[in-house]
Structure 1
Amino acid sequence: MSIPNLLKTLKTVKGNRQSNPSSKPLVEIISTILAPAPFNSNESCFISQLKPHVLTSILSNPNLRSSECFHFFDFCLKNQPLMSFTPDLQAHLTVICRLLKARMFSDAASLLKTVSIDGNLRYPFAIIASTVESCCQERKVKVKFFNFMLTLYSEYGFFDSVSETFSYMKNNGIMIDEQSCTVHLLSLKGSNQMHLALDFFYRMLKSRLEVSVYSLTVVVDILCWNGEIKRGRELVEETLGKGIKPNIVTFNVMVSACAKRWNFEELDLILLLMEKEEVRFDANTYKLLIDGFTSSGKNETAKNLVMKMHDEGLKADPHLYNLIIRSYCKAGAIQSACLVFDEMSDRTVAPNSDTYWALIDGLCKVGDMGLAVEYVNGMQSKGIKMDEAIFNALADGFCERGMVDEAIELQIMMEKDGYQLNPSVCEKIVLELCKLNRTKEATMVLSILAKRGADLRRLIPTTLELI
């Protein structure tokens, strides 16, 4: 702040000498007050006897810059115990309006919060509205002020006050900023207020605001989150007639909700609507669909979508292939999973450790250990190291096939690499050894488990009896 400029403008305040209890001019005392050094008893006396009309004159002086006005008012608030009165609502609103006009929005919001939010609605909206009308004559500033009120009430969850502010602005011809309304919709979304959000959105439409697709998408998201996917689609269809065209983000919200809930009947209607509105899939649309189809076992549909992605020039990442391979393996369709793996190579999509884990785990579960080992070798040739999950899948597969020596060899390899077999796999190794009457080796495995702190009697009580 420029102190000299403040002092110059303060000279214009009428009656300043009459309201100064000391012999010094008002300008000189204000200069001392705003200086870094502590003020003396004369200046303290001035603050204590500052009159409301002098403060009002200072704050409303057009020659005083908004930043200087705010600095002085902030000083008065911080030293309020020394003052003979409390700055009233009009003083606050005068400064706030000046800050808004100067685009000092952060300072305006902070000061507005003290009179509207702090103390649980310190001043009701009706009082604030009537006061600002008397202290602010510039229409553009009023528009900023009331939109600020709407946003502030929304941010702190005073949704009834938001409704009151909205009605006041509409009834008094004060332009409502659609962005402020969107902020409110987001606040309602965060509070999961579906019905309030829908009602407010319809109020926006009836007020003839230029409602954006972003506001529409927020409301659709709230509806879908609450399972009202059909209502979300119907809202999109309804607003199409009002000139609000949904975009890919809007559709992806609905697609995601359908995919997660396996609501494929509604999904078909949404995809038809996308086609009608000529909204093309993006990479996220494909991901959402493939995730939903694989989780529900619709693997062929998911695989066809990956092929379609490539045809449209979109890159399908390994994660999407992994979803399909894992789903095929879960269904026991290992051959189909292997074909998808081969398709990855044809499409120059590099498999990662998750790809190999899904395929090797599936092969182990169906007992095709020879092919599983081949994929392990292929994985290692590409520089991908075996992890604990793959080790355990192999060991479990060996035990299920009675290949206990291979399982033990794998266990030794794991120990060297710093991994540990799952206790349940160790239990299977012990059981297989006992069946072959190799109790000494079984005891060695048990001792390894004991060193790890495993509860042996809980794990394999019948095996302990055999040993």
Structure 2
Amino acid sequence: MSSQKNLLRMFKTPSMPSLLSNQEIAEKISNTLIDSGLKLFKTTKKVQSLLSYLNPQITHLVLSNPHLPPHSCLAFFNFLQENHSLITHKPDLQDHVILISRLYQARKFAAMKNMLNCMVTGSCTFCPSSIISLVDKSEPSFVAKFCDMLFRVYSDNRLFDDAFRVYNYVESNGLAIEERSCFVLLLALKKCDMAELCLSFFHRMVDSGTIGVTVHSLTLVIDGLCKRREIENAKLLVDEMKSKGIVKPNVFTYNTMLNAYIEQKDYSGVDDILSLMEKDQVVHNVTTYTLLIEWYASLGKIKDAEKIFDEMYAKNIVPDVYVYTSIISWNCRFGNIKRAFALFDELTGRGILPNAHTYGALISGVCKAGQMEAAEILVNEMQSKGIALNQVIFNTIMDGYCKIGMMDEALRLQDIMESKGFKSDVFSYNIIGSGLCKLNRYEEAKRLLMTMVEKGVAPNIVSFTTLMDICCKEGNIAEAERFFRDMEKKGERPNTISYNSIIDGFSKEGKMKEAHKLKNEMESKGLIPDVYTYTSLIHGECIAGRVDEAMKLFNEMCRRGITANVVTYTAVISGLSKEGRDDDAFRLYDEMMKMGLTPDDRVYASLVSSLHKTRT
């Protein structure tokens, strides 16, 4: 209290501000800050009046005062920035630099970086050359730290041109930017998909001779190249860095390239990376094994995936929950439910906590197998362990119920899902719509999908295809075609299944010209007709009595390496039989039997009919 009275007494000197020099006013402000902080500036009018005489020189003197602690300087600076009603003078560039210098001396680097960030992104931004010019003659260690931090701030804010200007200054003055700051720029460039600039700057780092390039920077650049599918360039860069002895790739570098080759399904590329890892004695980690398990399983080689899994144990690498979830998921996809549960028991036995994805994989497996009671048990177990159900799991179980025709259960589950705050998405609607169609409840399915649109859920290609299929089954080919064209207008590119649906509809209506036109259209878009496309067309031609056209399509399909199925053979045998061409019909029957296809009653009926026609 006495110090405040003394300060107030000091301010009572007659006509004080007008008679005092800038130095004296700066001293009074500094002393006030030292003794009372900002309190008097905020509450005492006589002290506040002193601020009206502030000018750039006074501010510089206050901030430069060695007796004023850096935290007080920072508080005063912020006060000037925030109280525009009291102060007309705002801190200028030199004020910023003076304060940054004080913060540097106090080793308050976080505050220093915040100041630089304000300079770069604030309402009054300053160009790099102006900023650097004020520190150019300062102590070299401060200049180096200042420029390094300024470079990082520009990089963080993706002001790449300014960052490069700072780097050029540093390089030309024999200073150095820290490697970790260079990493910040590389990361920002990669996030902006500027791979070429990222690679170019990496080479500048290497060529500088002053930056100790780390494997982290190398791996980041490699990842950027791989994401642009430039894996060969990535390999060349790794080879260059190794051969020059600059930096050796580690397991993360190799995993990045391995993942890129796996995504491209490049068999030789995967083998090359594995060979390089072995040659460089780079030990596989959990990520490597996870990638390899996914790789072999995706190729249908579940046994090889299991071998990789076993190899982990042999090398004392303990699989984590993600590895277990991966191998469990793939076993479920291949229908190895028993093995999946054995792995799940092994996981829990090792004290590893399963997550929602682990349970989701098992639930998906049992639902596909029609074991809905098992799915319910897993759901209850999840909830008892405090693992929340997600929308994917709800949709998976609904799909399971729909596949076995338990629509009431599926609809009940949809209500439960929505009561828990989840909104039915396009997948939910598609699942239920498809389930209703399987039970021939087409009108309900159509109404459901139309309601979906009314609720603001955009239909996807599956929704449109289901609607088209319903219309075709109802004989409303015009509406089916309208849905088909609407799908294209709304940005959903039709796939082979979509085309097959509408082609089948036209074929059954006997509109073969339109059906063939759609086949040509799909091929022009790069889509390859499959067995269902040809079967629909063959069936349509046979119904129209153009069996020779049907046989041309059948032969074309075979030339393309598309294997006919039971329905295809049935359609063409039926067509041949109706024309009394029993030799051709029986030849195809023999061919069908050699392929291991089991004819149904329609085939036998057609063949018997052809024999009757031949005899008559």
Residue 184 of structure 1 is matched in structure 2 by 185
Q: Which is further off, 376-385 or 260-269?
A: 376-385
- Per-residue deviation, 1:85: 5.3
Question: For residues 278-308 of structure 1, what are the alpha-carbon distances to aligned partners after superposition, in whole Å with 9 as ceiling and x for unaligned?
Answer: 1222222222222233334444433332232
Q: Partner residue of 1:425? A: 435
Task: State the match for 1:200 in structure 2.
Answer: 201
> Contact 2:329 / 2:361 at 8 angstroms: preserved in 1?
no
Structure 1 residue 150: Cα displacement: 0.3
Distance change (3 Å), C-alpha of 1:39 and 1:278:
same
1:284 to 281, 287, 306: 287
Change (3 A) 1:236 1:359: farther
Greater displacement, 87-96 / 204-213:
87-96
C-alpha root-mean-square deviation of aligned residues, in Å?
A: 4.3
Q: Match of 1:287, SS?
A: helix
Map 1:269-308; keep pairs closer than 5 Å: 269-308=272-311
SS in 2 for 1:242: coil
Cα distance, 1:45–1:33 mapped onto 2, change above 3 Å:
farther
Distance in 1 between residues matched to 2:121 and 2:154, nearest whole Å:
7
Matched, 1:108 2:108: no
CA spacing shift, 1:27–1:263, aligned 2, 3 Å: closer
Name the aligned partner's letter for residue 148 of structure 2.
Answer: N
Output the CA distance in 1 between the equivalents of 2:54 and 2:394: 76
Partner residue in 2 for 1:236: 238
Contact 1:21-1:46 within 8 A present in 2 as well: no
Cα distance in 2 for partners of 1:258, 1:33 equals: 62
3-state SS of 1:62 partner: coil
Alignment of 1:403-414 (within 5 A): none
Quickly say closer, same or farther: Cα 1:272–1:45, change in 2 above 3 A.
Answer: same
Length-normalised TM-score, structure 2: 0.56
Give the equivalent residue in structure 2 for 1:401: none
User: 2:231, 2:81 → 1: CA distance?
Assistant: 51
Query: Do residues 160 (structure 1) and 161 (structure 2) align?
Result: yes
Report the Cα distance in structure 2 between the residues aligned to 1:157 and 1:251, rounded to whole angstroms: 28
- Per-residue CA deviation, residues 307-333 of structure 1 (Å, 9 max, x unaligned), is 32343343375422334325535xxxx
| 1:354 alignment partner, one of 344, 354, 361 | 361
Query: Offset of 1:459 from its aligned partner?
Result: 8.1
Tell whether the 8 Å contact from 2:410 to 2:432 is kept in structure 1 after alignment: no
Distance 1:219 1:395, change over 3 A: closer
Going from structure 1 to structure 2, the CA distance change for 1:453 and 1:252 (only over 3 Å counts) comes to: closer
C-alpha deviation, 1:352, in angstroms: 4.7
> Percent identity, aligned pairs only?
25
3-state DSSP of counterpart to 1:132: coil
Give 1:6-405 correspondences, 5 Å limit. 17-19=20-22, 34-36=38-40, 38=42, 42-79=46-83, 87-119=91-123, 122-134=125-137, 136=138, 138-208=139-209, 209-240=211-242, 241-313=244-316, 314-315=318-319, 317-328=323-334, 337=336, 340-341=339-340, 344=343, 352=359, 354-355=361-362, 357-358=364-365, 361=368, 389=396, 392-393=399-400, 396=403
Query: Shift of residue 148 of structure 1?
Result: 0.9
Q: Scaled by the length of structure 1, what TM-score is found?
A: 0.71
Alpha-carbon distance in structure 2 between the residues aligned to 1:32 and 1:306? 68
Q: CA deviation at 1:20?
A: 7.9
* Structure 2 match to 1:333: none
Distance 2:344 2:152 in 1: 53
Alpha carbons 2:195, 2:224 under 8 Å: kept? yes
- Displacement of 1:416 in angstroms is 8.1
8 Å Cα contact 2:148-2:177 kept in structure 1:
yes
TM-aligned CA deviation for residue 151 of structure 1: 0.6
**1:151-171 CA deviation, whole Å, 9 max, x = no partner?**
111111111111121121122
Counterpart Cα distance in 2 of 1:360 and 1:27: 75
Q: CA deviation at 1:381?
A: 8.0
Higher mean C-alpha displacement, 52-61 vs 224-233: 52-61
Per the alignment, residue 369 of structure 1 pairs with: none
Q: Secondary structure at the match of 1:211?
A: coil
Task: Please list every run of 5 or more consecutive structure 1 residues that lacks an aligned counterpart in the other structure.
Answer: 8-15, 330-336, 364-371, 399-406, 431-444
Which letter does structure 1 place at the counterpart of 2:142?
V
Read off the aligned partner of 1:155 and give its amino acid letter: D
- What CA distance in whole angstroms lies between the structure 2 residues aligned with 1:123 and 1:186? 24
Structure 1: how far apart are the matches of 2:347 and 2:44? 80
RCO greater where, 1 or 2, for CA within 8 Å and sep 6 or more? 1
Q: Distance in 2 between matches of 1:272 and 1:280?
A: 12
CA gap 1:100/1:429 in 2 versus in 1, 3 angstroms: same
Long gaps (5+) in structure 2: 8-18, 350-357, 383-392, 416-427, 452-465, 476-616
Return the offset for 1:99.
0.8
C-alpha distance in structure 1 between counterparts of 2:229 and 2:347, whole Å: 39
- SS of aligned partner of 2:206: helix
